[in-house]
Chains A and B, each alone.
Chain A
Amino acid sequence: VNTLCQIAANLAGASQRDVPAKYAFSGRLLTMVLIAAGMLFAMDARAERISDISQTSIGEQAIRFFTFQDPTVRYALIGSILLGITCGLLGSFIVVRKMALVGDALSHAVLPGVALGFLWHTSKDPVAIFIGATIAGLAGAIAVGVIKQTTRLKEDTALGMVLATFFAVGICLVTMIQRLPTGNKSGLDKFLFGQAAAMGPDDIRLMAIVAGLTIVAVFLFYKEFLVTSFDEGFARATGFPTRLIHYSLMLLVAFAVVISLQAVGVVLVSAMLITPAAAAYLLTDRMNRMLLLAAFFGMAAGASGAFLSFLGPNLPTGPLMVLGATLVFGVAFLFGPRHGVVTRWWRQHSRSQRVQRENTLKSIYHVLESRNFQGEGVSLVELAERRRESIEEARQQAKSLCTHRLATLHDDGNMIFLTPEGWQLACAIVRNHRLWELYLTNAASIAADHVHEDAEKIEHVLGEDVVRELERRLDYATTDPHGKSIPGLSEIRKGASGRGKPDEVVGYGGQL
């Protein structure tokens, strides 16, 4: 293991050296190699072989899981957490690079490598399998690239073809190995669907190394990965070795796929790459937060999958982990604070409710204005006529105003009286509307009969600052292009001072 990792690190170093020394790669690389080496020495976990899981009740199994007495449980849990973190981190880059299905192709492409690695010792030697699988995965990634470059086939076709072909080769090899008379064949089929309980200390060690390597690589080369992910043209123009970065990422993804095989299985590894990262993608717009969230989600999914598969006698770990990740994605999809479907629907709904209320208030203001602010309340009939609606609809509107304490209903619910808040809001909306109309006619030279539609929309979203700015630019005008007066700040603050009874604060609530 040590040598393998050193070789990988040295290889990376060697290829880096060819790059013009614009970016102090070498320093960071050295750090990385040192950290990797340090980790290797630190990792000295030795423990007895896995004990077999005996079949007991769910409760006992759960207790056994949470006491962490059993080494099997510890290995399964640690392994799942490690692979969750690794896959989450790398998956984030894969998702933002729109390469989600490259992960899928890579995970299927490793199968022949797994089989060959298995063949090497005719037993389950993690290191041999690791090397074989990584080589096969990279060969798959390169094959996709070559097919895309040299033929007219589209990327999805190339991916699907490589995925299925490599997998078919792997299937042939697996079936050939299974009929070999020699060697221990058990465990190879576990690579298809994963069994976390079959992990041993060697596997865990390998996983820890890869996880550490990934964390360090992401930490040290964060800028490189970030820039090439979001703007490859810019990255190339500024001299980043984009192809090298692409293939290093592929190498890391291949590592991640390989360590996840044991627990998740060939078929579903891509889900551990894609799903937690996609969930994180829905929750944040910052890459560093996305990385953290994705790693956390991956970890949670891994741990829950390990736990659930431990409960039943014949439950595969991989699918349960994937379902855990899907659950997280589902929650993010529905309830994510910004992009969630339900939250967005709710936001839209409440916004349209607010707009509707404001329009009703405006209509009430118009009714009051049309009779020169004589009389206290507005009847439902008047409101319905003004809004060209039925009485019932007007009643609904009025009730909605009441629940928001913008108006009160009297005379068996037939008369609407605005509360001080309602009056203020109505004045503010009308003011926004008329100021905007005036601004459009003055500043944008739009005909006075064309400005209403636009103002009708913008009146609901003009902020305080914009309104102040409009007032200033319009020189505190008091009349709109249609000759109607713009309710001033004093009206908004006090109420109906413009009605000719300036000292009396009346007209908006009805002093009953």
Chain B
Amino acid sequence: MNSLVPAFNFHDVFVLPWTTGFSSTVWIVLMGFLVAVACGLVGNYLMLRRMALVGDAISHSVLPGLAIAFLLSNSRSSTAMFVGALAAGIVTTIIIETIHKKTRVKQDAAIGIAFTSLFAIGVVLISMYASKIDLDQECVLYGEIGFVSLEPSVQLAGATLGPMPVVRMGIVAILTVLLIVLFYKELLVSSFDPALAFSLGINATLVHYALMCWLSVVVVSAFESVGAILVVAMLILPGATASMLSQRLPVVLSLTVIHAALSSVLGVHLGTWLNCSLAGAMVVAGAGLFCVAWIFSPSQGLLQRFWHRQKQPEVQFSEAA
């Protein structure tokens, strides 16, 4: 057991990453932050629409899209990957809707069937054409954010911007923020009250599919660094933590960003200490933050509930009666 959990050394865990390992740490933290921001912001809307698990489904079913894009284009170009992921995301959404609407199978089972089948196709394709597809099964599951700084850098107008994945993720994150700002009203209304959205002339179906498309884009750009399943955590955890603390959507969205930053930094330290998968550690850190919010939230935390119950025992009595 002692060899499993290394001794905690403050200097090694908190100081070294920011001194000797600065150049790699900063990119890893930035990448984690960007992934969590982009995913978390989109995830907020998924949760409002009770589609958190559709996010799960799409993050899995992006895989066959990527595999087929690799096979067809024979390259690792970003365009092919984005097209493949978009197609896969739309196909997933359509399959779920078709199964759900055409049969009596409920939506949850439809989600379960759709994404497992697509994911299975992806895994089979990857293992059949292992030599041609530059994706390995474990990377698919938990990504490798640790090597992000080793990727070739992007040069723009003479200035070195940073490693390719970070720049790409940065663009996606900025676009996500922009899209949310531009279509704030449409997203808000159609998420909370589809009937009102309809009467205001907002095409809810279009918003739905647009959200799914953007989700696929975010997922595919996050995929490489955190893998299929941890993307789900990045989608849900920031928003869930934020919604423990506030009920106002603008506040929730800002808290999401803060959660993303904190979980990214804490995750790097946790991962450095335990010497484990950094993406996994970021998610664990994010989950830890959720637990803190869950316990200490001033409006609906466990402590507050407990305190409330202690103060007003008659409420419980009347409930029991």
Q: Which residues of A does B touch, CB under 8 Å?
A: 95, 98-101, 103-104, 108, 119, 147, 150-154, 156-157, 159-161, 163-165, 167-177, 179-182, 189, 192-193, 267-268, 270-271, 273-275, 277-278, 281-282, 312, 314-316, 318-320, 322-323, 326, 329, 333, 339, 341
Whether the Cβ atoms of B124 and A164 lie closer than 8 Å is no
Is residue B82 within 8 Å, beta carbon to beta carbon, of the partner chain? no
Whether the Cβ atoms of B137 and A193 lie closer than 8 Å is yes
B contact residues around A164 at 8 Å (CB): 229-230, 232-233, 236-237, 283
Q: Which of A101, A169, A320 has the most CB of B within 10 A?
A: A101
- Contact of A339 with B229 at beta-carbon distance under 8 Å, contacts A160-B55, A172-B274 already known: no
Whether the Cβ atoms of B113 and A278 lie closer than 8 Å is yes
Instruction: Name which residue of chain B comes closest to A192, CB basis.
Output: B141
Measured in the bound complex, the distance between the Cα atoms of B243 and A154 in whole Å is 11
Instruction: Name which residue of chain B comes closest to A277, CB basis.
Output: B109
Whether the Cβ atoms of B53 and A171 lie closer than 8 Å is no
Q: Which residues of B does A touch, CB under 8 Å?
A: 1, 3-5, 47, 50-53, 55-56, 60, 99, 102-106, 108-109, 111-113, 116-117, 119-121, 123-124, 127-128, 130, 137-138, 141-142, 228-230, 232-233, 235-237, 239-240, 243-244, 271, 274-277, 279-284, 287, 290, 294, 300, 302, 305
Measured in the bound complex, the distance between the Cα atoms of B47 and A319 in whole Å is 29
Measured in the bound complex, the distance between the Cα atoms of B57 and A159 in whole Å is 13
B contact residues around A281 at 8 Å (CB): 104-105, 109
Q: Which of A103, A108, A151, A174 has the most CB of B within 10 A?
A: A151
Measured in the bound complex, the distance between the Cα atoms of B94 and A416 in whole Å is 48
A contact residues around B47 at 8 Å (CB): 153-154, 156-157
A contact residues around B127 at 8 Å (CB): 314-316
Whether the Cβ atoms of A339 and B104 lie closer than 8 Å is yes
Measured in the bound complex, the distance between the Cα atoms of B233 and A189 in whole Å is 21
Whether the Cβ atoms of B294 and A323 lie closer than 8 Å is no
A contact residues around B229 at 8 Å (CB): 108, 163-164, 167, 267
Chain B proximity of A257: nearest CB distance (Å): 13
- Contact of A153 with B106 at beta-carbon distance under 8 Å, contacts A164-B283, A192-B138 already known: no
Whether the Cβ atoms of A320 and B141 lie closer than 8 Å is no
**Neighbour of A169 across the interface among B137, B235, B280, CB < 8 A:** B280
**Neighbour of A339 across the interface among B3, B103, B119, CB < 8 A:** B103
Whether the Cβ atoms of A172 and B233 lie closer than 8 Å is no
Measured in the bound complex, the distance between the Cα atoms of B269 and A40 in whole Å is 48
- Contact of A99 with B275 at beta-carbon distance under 8 Å, contacts A167-B230, A319-B124 already known: no
Whether the Cβ atoms of B3 and A157 lie closer than 8 Å is no
Chain A proximity of B185: nearest CB distance (Å): 23
